[in-house]
Amino acid sequence: MKARVTVGLLIAALAVYFVLLAGRAVALLRTGDVVAVLLGVGVLILPLLGVWLVYSNLRFGWETEKMARELEADGLLPDVSHLPRRPSGRVDRDAADAWFEERRGEVDASPEDWRAWFRLAYAYDVAGDRGRARETMKKAIQLHS
């Protein structure tokens, strides 16, 4: 719940920023000066890009949560509590790599199963590869839809 409140506050702050930025863009557009108009168009693109980025990231989070709830209801949510951890709390690298290979095998066996892709994305995350985790989760979302 705390994360949702934080996200809500951040979205509200971004909305205020986007409105103020759009106001500046409109003021530049109204000057009629070629350079100011071009700058105004550029400044107007920024809030539009920001809204799209916020929406796409929120949608990603909503879809991921939805899939996690489905997996949890089926008893298939990935569990790494049994894996050894370093003093920092992160999963031991060798254990994470071995667990990752098991998840990779699941995807190889069922390449059209979104559940396998979800677990592989989680394995990437546990292994510390956030970029690949996100791309793999996108594949899971695509298959789930």
Domain boundary among 74, 103, 136: 74
83 belongs to a structural domain: no
**Structural domains in the chain (count):** 2
- Domain extent, residue 46, equals 2-74
Same domain, 52 and 99: no
What does the pLDDT average to over 77-82? 88
The predicted-structure confidence for 60-76, as pLDDT tens digits, reads as follows 999 999 999 999 999 98
Tokens of 131: 């970029």
Contact 50, 18 (CB under 8 A): yes
**Tokens 């409105």 map to which residue?**
19
26 belongs to a structural domain: yes
> DSSP code of 91?
B
3-state secondary structure of 82: coil
Query: Binning pLDDT at 50, 70 and 90, where does residue 3 land?
Result: confident
Q: Determine phi and psi for 85, rounding to 5 degrees.
A: -120, 155
pTM over 0.85: no
